[in-house]
Structure formats: structure tokens, C-alpha cells
């Protein structure tokens, strides 16, 4: 009888070129699902403490999800995991597209790479045969060109994950591409792949995912679609102008930041993440001018932000882009003649903000070019944009001179200089060599007090959601095993997740409609942040998309998991599975020498020290100790250090880890 997972992984030893299979017992899936859960379980055991993230002992895992290929909506994400060279601890990233189901069609739940190849190689899987092939002819090609070449060589059914030249040159802010420039961008895992001289995976297979109860999956799909299709008419009213109006209203009103699943559904299917472009710069969600500016003053709608209006971007849409088995399709393929791009992916909100409001750049064509360039060479656009904003402020404050930059005039809003600097970073020329490893290392190199301008947590650049606007992110950016990430939880996410609908014992989402409520650290909010943290690990175990999860609890992932596996567990048990995965990830960090609350710190600015003098967050300073302490307690972690307690680990059946962590 089907159970959704394939029951085995592929192991590739890059030192020797040996390829072998390993069966995974059923009880392991029951304990941690598949996807990021299985990766966490195996990498915790198999990467030795102190391993060099760029050395042979690091293991790079490409994972599919438990529900991928089962027919369940929104479950086509693939995940990549390894020890992160950016943070020195647990690293993972995920991406949509079409690569995840291909892993399962090849008969595996994951593909694990160990060692370092003596020469550039790629993994080919075709007709049931897995082998390493020479990639000398691909080395140096950008990610899109290399993918085209691999599909020409391996056949049209091949699905490709590939790195660009930035990752080949071990830029610590590089990611891994699939589907012509969609990225698993974070944690610096492109650099791990580059360090292994692994250019790509090009895989195809004909295997089928067997499901315990396909009818139950169909019923859940039908129920979701019924809700999803409601309000199609209203969606058309959600124009860019309406979003601008909402933005202005949210800035001046005492209303908070509540965002319900229905609004997410409409905004995401109409525009994708760029729906936030103007909204967020006006209401305070977007960090501006390297986190010391104020949106409505420094990047106002009238003078700047409206130039990045979502409708102006959608005017270039050639076709919608859907990841595997996604009913929404938040992506778009664009043609932008004015930027000289015949085919390019729509930039995400994070990219528009990191190279827009954060750098005071309102040149939309430049953002199209920057996005396309980053996708080709392989930069994480959040980290690259933030690192360049850091350099801009260094120039403004006289810490860096034009001479340090090889004559580049890196002033706010100078997008030509940004494009040239990106080239220098990708080629590791001049100052680009220093900036290519992110803002933390650049600040350490530059010194002169620049450290306080580097907007990272634990080495990873902060995303484009201001923690002074949403204090939930002040928790997520530091207390998660992968710091500096927005895809786990924030207070806004709680509204969208509506977890009480899936897990009846959880409190209802706290009321965030009033601004004055959002800065209060309350018991219910802390419980819900911890629940969201656990839930997201389950989400990443099954391979689901965050945007599906943000649809007000209408995507019933526990129901799908029962239908696909036949486990028939109460929903709360899936929250426990997520909690188990999260504790393994956090324990991984401890095993590798990280004390979470000491080593992952929020930059002072992001906590409102000093507070902003104008705008929606005027005067806001966050009570970081209360926020982090309450979260740690609700996770069963030591309040002062953030280390999982032995009691919690044993409660989750992780006795071996409890023993090991106690001895660290």
C-alpha cells in the first residue's frame, strides 16, 4: 500500500565517484517526515562537529517533500541542506519549480553529496542509472545557460538544479537555481556546492508516488479549490491603485497589520509577492536606506515607490508561472524590451526592496536587469542587496572612498554602480572580492566601526521585513536555527496561518488590528510564534509552499499527510513532528559550537536602538529580552542560552541528542 515516500536516498561520494543507495526505515519518516526533517536527522548524525562547511566532511542534501508527487496542492518545494558557511550552523533553503517531483520520480526522497570532486562534475540520473559526469564544459557558464546546455545533453525530461559562477567562486551569498533562475537562495549553500565542484544535478525518472488514499487527497483538493475560487470578482478590484490607497491608510491609521488569508489569496494570485512593493515601503514593513530611512519620507509613493508599482511590473508579463501542482501561480515570465531582456523571471518583493527602497533606487528597468543578473550568476538577492546597501552607507559616512571602490560612485540610488559592483562581486574583483562573502565578513575586513552598519543576524543578511514594524520577526531573525530569515514566522504570519483552525488546542490569533497591540509581548502571541516555528518545519518536511500555508488554515496539511501516508494521526501529532525537526536543527547548531542567544544577535538598528525619529515606527524600541525569552520558554529551550533542554529533547524521543548536547 502507498505511503507517499520512496523509502530510500541516493548517496554520492564525490571523492571517489561512488554512487550508492540507502534504505530509510519507516519509523524514521514517522518521526521526522521527509524533506527538511529527514535531512536534519541524517545531517545531525553524519556531519562531524567542527566540520569545515567548505570541506569534504560537509554533506549537501537535496530533498523532496513527503507530499510531493501525491497530488496535494502546493507541495512541489525542494529543499537543500548542509552546514552553512554563512552562519557556521544549520543551513537550509528551499525553492519551487519542477525539481522536487523529479527527485521522487528517480525513486528517492533525497540525494546526499559528500566529499569534494577532483574536477567539475554533475550528477546525471537517466533511465534508472545515476552517475557523475564531467562538467568542465559547463564550469563558468551562468545558471540559465548551463541549464539549457544540460537539457540539450540529457533530454527534455531532465530537471536541473545548478549553480552559477558566483557559487563556483565560493561566494558565501550564493544559492542554487532551477527552472531558469528560480532560487534556493539562502544560507550560502551555493558556495557549498561550488566547494564540492558539483556544477549541477540533471535528473529524470519515471517512478510513481504511491498514495495510501488517493480519494481522500482529491476530496481535500476539491475542498480547498472551492474556497480558493470564492471572490474571483473581488480580486479584479484589487488594483495597484487600491494597494497604494491601503498603504497610505495603514501608515496614518491606528490600524495595525492584520492580513487575512483571503487578502493573501487575492493579492498573491493577482500580483505575486510584488503586491507588497508600495504597501510595505509606505506602512513601514520595508527597511529603507539600509534600515535608517523612513519609507514615506525617503521613498515616498509620489516621488519613488510608485515607480516600482506592481502593475508596472505586470505590464511586462508574457505568461504566468506555476510551480509543480500549484493552483495559484504567483510567478510570471516577463519580456522587458526597455531593459533588453527577452525572457526573465518576475522579480520578487524581496529583490525589489533590497535593490529598491533599501538602496533608494526607483529605476525599475535597473531592478529587472539586476534581478536577471543575480539569477544568472547565482546571488541571493536579499544578501547581495543588503551587502551593497551596507557599502553605500560606508561610502556616505566616509568609511569607504570612491578609490576603495575602484572609482565606482556608489551613492544611494546609483543603479549603474550597483550593477557594476555586482559584476565585481561575481568575478571577485577589487572590493567585490570582499563584498561577495556578505556584510558580516565585509565589515570585519573594513573595520572603522562599519560593523554596526552590517544588517545581518549570525552572518545572514536580514530580509525585507522590518522587525520594528513586526516584532515577531525580531524573534524569527535570531531564535530560528537559520537566523536572518522571514519564512518561518512573524506576527503577520500568525494572522495568515490561522493555526487554531488546524490545531484546536491553540489560542485564536491575537488581535493585531490595533497598532498599540502589536508591541505587547503576550502569552498567546508567544505560544503562537512557537507553534508557527514548529509548524513550518512540518511544512518543510512535506515540501509545501509557504504561500499555500498562509491562506488562513484552508490548506489542510495534516489531513493530506494522513491521506497520503495512512498514519491517521491527530493533527497535534504533526505539530510535535515539526517540533522534533526544529529541535534537531537547533541541536545541530549547538553541536557545532553555537550558543544561539549569544552568537545570533539582532543588529541594534533592527531593534530600534536608536529609535527612528519619524514614520510609523517613530520612537519604537523593542524589548528583545522579553521577546526572545518568551519564545525560548515556549519552545522548551533554556531562556538565557536558547539551547534545547534535555527534558524537551527526551520528551521528543531525542535521547541520543540530549546526551550529546549535554556534553558539548
Q: Which is closer to ligand SF4, CB of 139 or CB of 547?
A: 547
Q: Which is closer to ligand SF4, CB of 88 or CB of 329?
A: 329
- Tell how strand 159-162 and strand 176-178 pair up: antiparallel
| Residue 96 interacting with ligand SF4 (CB under 6 A) | yes
Q: What share of the chain is helix, strand, coil (3-state, %, to 5)?
A: 45, 15, 40
Q: Which is closer to ligand SF4, CB of 44 or CB of 224?
A: 224
Q: Least CB distance from residue 529 to ligand SF4, whole Å?
A: 23
Distance in angstroms (rounded) separating the CA atoms of residues 1 and 6 = 12
Q: Name every residue whose Cβ is closer than 8 Å to that of residue 513 and which is 6 or more positions away in sequence.
A: 255, 256, 258
Binding span for ligand SF4 by CB under 6 A among 309-317, 324-332, 494-502, 519-527: 324-332
Q: Candidates 5, 44, 74, 349: give the one binding ligand SF4 (CB under 6 A).
A: 74
Question: Is residue 526 within 8 Å of residue 635, measured between CB atoms?
Answer: no
Q: What is the DSSP string of 8-69?
A: EEEEEETTT--EEEEE--HHHHHHH-SHHHHHHHHHHHHSPTT--TTSTT-EEEEE--TTTT
| Residue 326 interacting with ligand SF4 (CB under 6 A) | yes
| Residue 545 interacting with ligand SF4 (CB under 6 A) | yes
The C-alpha cell of 60 is what? Answer: 549537501
| Residue 284 interacting with ligand SF4 (CB under 6 A) | no
Q: Give the distance, in angstroms, between the CA of residue 88 and the centroid of all CA atoms in the same chain.
A: 17
| Residue 224 interacting with ligand SF4 (CB under 6 A) | no
CB atoms within 10 A of CB 656: 11
CB atoms within 10 A of CB 516: 8
Q: Least CB distance from residue 268 to ligand SF4, whole Å?
A: 6
Q: Least CB distance from residue 634 to ligand SF4, whole Å?
A: 28
Binding span for ligand SF4 by CB under 6 A among 161-169, 242-250, 280-288, 319-327: 319-327
Binding span for ligand SF4 by CB under 6 A among 2-10, 55-63, 328-336, 652-660: 328-336
Binding span for ligand SF4 by CB under 6 A among 229-237, 326-334, 417-425, 444-452: 326-334
Q: Least CB distance from residue 329 to ligand SF4, whole Å?
A: 5
Q: Which is closer to ligand SF4, CB of 275 or CB of 330?
A: 330
Binding span for ligand SF4 by CB under 6 A among 137-145, 322-330, 352-360, 483-491: 322-330
Alpha helices in 253-343 (DSSP H): 261-271, 276-283, 295-298, 310-314
Q: Candidates 331, 356, 481, 543: give the one binding ligand SF4 (CB under 6 A).
A: 331
CB atoms within 10 A of CB 105: 22
Binding span for ligand SF4 by CB under 6 A among 184-192, 292-300, 325-333, 493-501: 325-333
Burial of residue 42 (CB within 10 Å: 0-12, 13-18, 19+) is buried
Beta strands in 235-375 (DSSP E): 317-321, 331-336, 341-345
Q: Which is closer to ligand SF4, CB of 65 or CB of 115?
A: 65
Length of the chain: 664
| Residue 112 interacting with ligand SF4 (CB under 6 A) | no
Q: Candidates 10, 146, 330, 395: give the one binding ligand SF4 (CB under 6 A).
A: 330
Distance in angstroms (rounded) separating the CA atoms of residues 104 and 62 = 11
Q: Least CB distance from residue 514 to ligand SF4, whole Å?
A: 30
Q: Which is closer to ligand SF4, CB of 322 or CB of 639?
A: 322
Q: Candidates 207, 214, 231, 329: give the one binding ligand SF4 (CB under 6 A).
A: 329
Q: Candidates 323, 410, 494, 612: give the one binding ligand SF4 (CB under 6 A).
A: 323
Distance in angstroms (rounded) separating the CA atoms of residues 429 and 416 = 17
| Residue 547 interacting with ligand SF4 (CB under 6 A) | yes
Binding span for ligand SF4 by CB under 6 A among 102-110, 278-286, 329-337, 614-622: 329-337
| Residue 184 interacting with ligand SF4 (CB under 6 A) | no
Size of the site for ligand SF4 (CB under 6 A): 12
Q: Least CB distance from residue 545 to ligand SF4, whole Å?
A: 3
The strands making up 78-83's β-sheet, listed across from edge to edge, are 19-23, 8-13, 110-114, 59-63, 78-83, 90-95
Q: Candidates 322, 428, 429, 639: give the one binding ligand SF4 (CB under 6 A).
A: 322
Angle formed by the axes of helices 364-377 and 415-427, to 10°? 10
Q: Candidates 40, 166, 266, 328: give the one binding ligand SF4 (CB under 6 A).
A: 328
Distance in angstroms (rounded) separating the CA atoms of residues 174 and 82 = 14
Angle formed by the axes of helices 624-635 and 523-542, to 10°? 60
Q: Which is closer to ligand SF4, CB of 546 or CB of 602?
A: 546
Query: By CB under 6 A, what part of segment 299-318 binds ligand SF4?
Result: none
| Residue 551 interacting with ligand SF4 (CB under 6 A) | no
Question: Is residue 308 within 8 Å of residue 347, measured between CB atoms?
Answer: no
Phi-psi region of 544 (alpha: psi -120 to 50; beta: other; left: phi over 0): beta
Grid cell 491517521 is found at: 568
Q: Least CB distance from residue 488 to ligand SF4, whole Å?
A: 16
Q: Rule CB under 6 A: which residues touch ligand SF4?
A: 74, 76, 96, 322-323, 326, 328-331, 545, 547
Amino acid at each position: 500500500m502507498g505511503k507517499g515516500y520512496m523509502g530510500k536516498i541516493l548517496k554520492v561520494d564525490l571523492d571517489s565517484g561512488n554512487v550508492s543507495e540507502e534504505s530509510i526505515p519507516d519509523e524514521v519518516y514517522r518521526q521526522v517526515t521527509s524533506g527538511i526533517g529527514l535531512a536534519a536527522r541524517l545531517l545531525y548524525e553524519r556531519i562531524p562537529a567542527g566540520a569545515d562547511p567548505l570541506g569534504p566532511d560537509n554533506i549537501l542534501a537535496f530533498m523532496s517533500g513527503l507530499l510531493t508527487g501525491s497530488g496535494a496542492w502546493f507541495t512541489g518545494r525542494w529543499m537543500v541542506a548542509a552546514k552553512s558557511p554563512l552562519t557556521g550552523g544549520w543551513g537550509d533553503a528551499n525553492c519551487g519549480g519542477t525539481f522536487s517531483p523529479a527527485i521522487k520520480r528517480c525513486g528517492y526522497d533525497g540525494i546526499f553529496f559528500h566529499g569534494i570532486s577532483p574536477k567539475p562534475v554533475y550528477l546525471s540520473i537517466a533511465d534508472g542509472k545515476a552517475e557523475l559526469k564531467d562538467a568542465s564544459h559547463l564550469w563558468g557558464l551562468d545558471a540559465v545557460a548551463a541549464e539549457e546546455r544540460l537539457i540539450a545533453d540529457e533530454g527534455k525530461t531532465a530537471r536541473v538544479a545548478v549553480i552559477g559562477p558566483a557559487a563556483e567562486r565560493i561566494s558565501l551569498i550564493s544559492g542554487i537555481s532551477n527552472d531558469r533562475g528560480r532560487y534556493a537562495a539562502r544560507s550560502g549553500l551555493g558556495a557549498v556546492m561550488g566547494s564540492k565542484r558539483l556544477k549541477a544535478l540533471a535528473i529524470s525518472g519515471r517512478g510513481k508516488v504511491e498514495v495510501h488514499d488517493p480519494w481522500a487527497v482529491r476530496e481535500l483538493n476539491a475542498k480547498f479549490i472551492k474556497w480558493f475560487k470564492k471572490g474571483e470578482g473581488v480580486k479584479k478590484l484589487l488594483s495597484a491603485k487600491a494597494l497604494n490607497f491601503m498603504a497610505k491608510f495603514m501608515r496614518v491609521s491606528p490600524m495595525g497589520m492584520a492580513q487575512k488569508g483571503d487578502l493573501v489569496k487575492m493579492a498573491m494570485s493577482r500580483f505575486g509577492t510584488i503586491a507588497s512593493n508600495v504597501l510595505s515601503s509606505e506602512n513601514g514593513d520595508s527597511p529603507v536606506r539600509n534600515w535608517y530611512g523612513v519609507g514615506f519620507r525617503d521613498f515616498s509613493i509620489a516621488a519613488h515607490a510608485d515607480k516600482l508599482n506592481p502593475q508596472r511590473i505586470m505590464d511586462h508579463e508574457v505568461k504566468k508561472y506555476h510551480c509543480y501542482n500549484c493552483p495559484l501561480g504567483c510567478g510570471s515570465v516577463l519580456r522587458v524590451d526597455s531593459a533588453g531582456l527577452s525572457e526573465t523571471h518576475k522579480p520578487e518583493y524581496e529583490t525589489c526592496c533590497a535593490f529598491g527602497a533599501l538602496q533608494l533606487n526607483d529605476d525599475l528597468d535597473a531592478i529587472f536587469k539586476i534581478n536577471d543578473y543575480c539569477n544568472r550568476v547565482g546571488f541571493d538577492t536579499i544578501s547581495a542587496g543588503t551587502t551593497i546597501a551596507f557599502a553605500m552607507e560606508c561610502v556616505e559616512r566616509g568609511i569607504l572612498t570612491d578609490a576603495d571602490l575602484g572609482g565606482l560612485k556608489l551613492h544611494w540610488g546609483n543603479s549603474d554602480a550597483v550593477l557594476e559592483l555586482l559584476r565585481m562581486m561575481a568575478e571577485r574583483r577589487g572590493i567585490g572580492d570582499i563584498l561577495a562573502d556578505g556584510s558580516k565578513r565585509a565589515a570585519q575586513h573594513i573595520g572603522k566601526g562599519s560593523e554596526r552598519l552590517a544588517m545581518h543576524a549570525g552572518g545572514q543578511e536580514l530580509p525585507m521585513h522590518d522587525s520594528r514594524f513586526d516584532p515577531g520577526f525580531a524573534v524569527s531573525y535570531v531564535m530560528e536555527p537559520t537566523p536572518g530569515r522571514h519564512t518561518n514566522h512573524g506576527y503577520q504570519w500568525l494572522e495568515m496561518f490561522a493555526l487554531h483552525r488546524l490545531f484546536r488546542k491553540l489560542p485564536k490569533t491575537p488581535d493585531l488590528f490595533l497598532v498599540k497591540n502589536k508591541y505587547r509581548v503576550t502569552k498567546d502571541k508567544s505560544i503562537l510564534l512557537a507553534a508557527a516555528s514548529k509548524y513550518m518545519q512540518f511544512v518543510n518536511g512535506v515540501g509545501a509552499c509557504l504561500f499555500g500555508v498562509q491562506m488562513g488554515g484552508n490548506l489542510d496539511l495534516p489531513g493530506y499527510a494522513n491521506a497520503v501516508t495512512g498514519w491517521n494521526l491527530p493533527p497535534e501529532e504533526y505539530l510535535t513532528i515539526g517540533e522534533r525537526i526544529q529541535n534537531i536543527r537547533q541541536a545541530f547548531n549547538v553541536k557545532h559550537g553555537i550558543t544561539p542567544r549569544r552568537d545570533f544577535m539582532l543588529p541594534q538598528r533592527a531593534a530600534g536602538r536608536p529609535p527612528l525619529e519619524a514614520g510609523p515606527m517613530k520612537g519604537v524600541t523593542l524589548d528583545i529580552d522579553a521577546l526572545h525569552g518568551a519564545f525560548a520558554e515556549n519552545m522548551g529551550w533554556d531562556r538565557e542560552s536558547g539551547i534545547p533542554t534535555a527534558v524537551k529533547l527526551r520528551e521528543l524521543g531525542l535521547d541520543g541528542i540530549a546526551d550529546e548536547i549535554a556534553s558539548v
